[in-house]
Amino acid sequence: MDLERHDFQLDELVERIKANDNRLVALQVPEGLKMQALGMMDSIEEESGAKVILAADPCYGACDLVHDKMQMMGVELVAHMGHSQMNIDSGMPTHFIPVTYDGTPELAAVLPILEGHRTLAQSRLVSANEKGEMNEEVAKESFLDAVGRVAPLTGARLGLVGSIQHLHLLEDFKDRLEEGGFEVEIPLGGDRLAFPGQVLGCNYSGDTPSIGHYLFLGSGDFHPIGLVLHTGKPLAMLNPYTGDASEMSFERIERILRQRFGLIMAVDEAISFGILIGEKPGQMRRNLAIRIKRLLEKHDRRGYLLALDHVSPDLIDFYPVDAFVNTACPRIAIDDSKRYSKPLITPYELEVALGEKQWEMGYQFDEIP
């Protein structure tokens, strides 16, 4: 990682600590910055005079706050780095540091991919009204289709999105892409998203029928996988760190969909379910978990509410239930299901298994609004 080109905004943090005369501060950083955290702690302590505690547990997002634990230690301010603020009442002062990267990749490498995806989106527009009634077998095949599974399009615009470190590039890239002949939209999401064009692993609420395909500015495939699963739309990726361009493989998405299909079929005859409730402030969906328990009772099944801070196989696999329904971080069921000895499904997948939702609606990604 090229740390010299990242803006960690420590000066602003130090100024806030001094202004409020904070004596004990907690620093929470994502996994990719843990190696640099001790150096940051030295700088903050030397420049502010405060003592700094590193929240060393895994941190995967702004939903993953540590405020209760830190309050018990007497912490006066939490500095949360690498993510933007969500619609969460943290209960104590929090200083969010998005961390931006000063790097602008060239567009040329990704243009051929975008042109191919635009053609695909335009072809979907033409066939938008051709789908008729489906029998169950056809509906199940449609469920497994990586592209075109969701609602028909009303446009073929390019949706421009990115991870928090690169959102400052979006307006410039929008201008450059429009000069190249693309119709571009930077989507506006719901309350959980702090900035236009932002995507999270659990929220892609900015998607609209007028967007036919996407360009993601960022690294890794965590956000792209979720975006394609949620939208059923082609996605190109441009990595600002390396300049590399690629696309999210339809084959990869279809493999994930086939895995989800298999898990839905696997719980068809399950009688007992563990319903997982996340204890983290931004992942706690208690009402959804209770609704699922009532739904299971309606279908003569049993549901047991299990509350956990962290969800992992060693913490749940031993319970004598047939399967688990996850209401904590939506990505646990999608990204980690192979690690569990029993089926781990989403609330939507349970509804399909129970016949409450229909196959022909296409796969629906579990979001936290």
pLDDT in tens, 219-269: 988 999 999 988 889 999 999 999 999 999 888 888 998 999 999 999 999
In a domain, 282, yes or no: yes
- C-alpha 11/C-alpha 339 separation (Å) is 42
Identify whether 369 is part of a domain. no
Task: Look at the chain and report how many structural domains it folds into.
Answer: 3
Do residues 241 and 264 both lie within one domain? no
- pLDDT tens digits for range 57-113: 888 888 888 877 888 899 999 999 988 888 777 778 999 998 888 888 999 999 999
pLDDT at 150 over 60: no
Residue 105 belongs to some domain of the structure = no
Same domain, 150 and 31: no
Mean pLDDT throughout 270-277? 98
Same domain membership, residue 221 and residue 124: yes
The pLDDT confidence band at residue 19, using thresholds 50, 70 and 90, is very high
Could you tell me which residues come within 8 angstroms of residue 54 by beta carbon, excluding any fewer than 6 positions away? 26, 27, 28, 29, 37, 38, 41
**Closest residue by Cα to residue 117 from 256, 250, 255:** 250
Going by pLDDT thresholds of 50, 70 and 90, the confidence category of residue 136 is: low
The answer on 191 and 128 residing in a single domain is yes
What value does the mean pLDDT take over residues 127-143? 59
User: Which pair of structure tokens corresponds to residue 261?
Assistant: 């299909």
Q: Which of 227, 248, 269 is the last residue of a domain?
A: 248
Neighbouring residues of 306: CB distance < 8 A, sequence distance ≥ 6: 274, 275, 276, 277, 316, 319
Structure tokens at 207: 């998607």
- Residue 99 Ramachandran class (φ > 0 left, ψ -120 to 50 alpha, else beta): left
Q: Determine the angle formed by the axes of helices 34-48 and 10-19, rounding to 10 degrees.
A: 40
Residues 122 and 208 in one domain: yes
Residues 135 and 238 in one domain: yes
Asked if residues 96 and 82 have their Cβ atoms less than 8 Å apart, the reply is no
Q: Are residues 243 and 261 in the same domain?
A: no
Per residue in 152-182, pLDDT (tens digit) is 788 999 999 999 889 999 999 999 999 999 9
Is 314 found in the same domain as 230? no
Tell whether 366 is covered by a domain: no
User: What are φ and ψ of residue 217, in 5° steps?
Assistant: -100, 110
Range of the domain at 95: 3-99
Identify whether residues 231 and 265 lie together within a single domain.
no
Q: What is the mean pLDDT of the chain?
A: 89
Residue 368 lies in a domain: no
Give a yes or no: residue 104 inside a domain: no
Tokens 């298999």 label which residue? 262
pLDDT on residue 129:
53
Q: Is 310 left (phi over 0), alpha (psi -120 to 50) or beta?
A: beta
CATH number, domain of 283, equals 3.40.50.11860
CA distances from 54 to 58, 70, 365 (A): 11, 10, 34
What is the C-alpha radius of gyration for the chain, rounded to an integer number of angstroms? 22
One domain for residues 205 and 234? yes
Residue predicted with more confidence, 209 or 289: 289
134, amino acid identity: M
CATH number at 244 reads: 3.40.50.11850
The two counts, helices (H) then strands (E), for the chain are 12, 15
Which of 248, 273, 297 is the last residue in one of the domains? 248
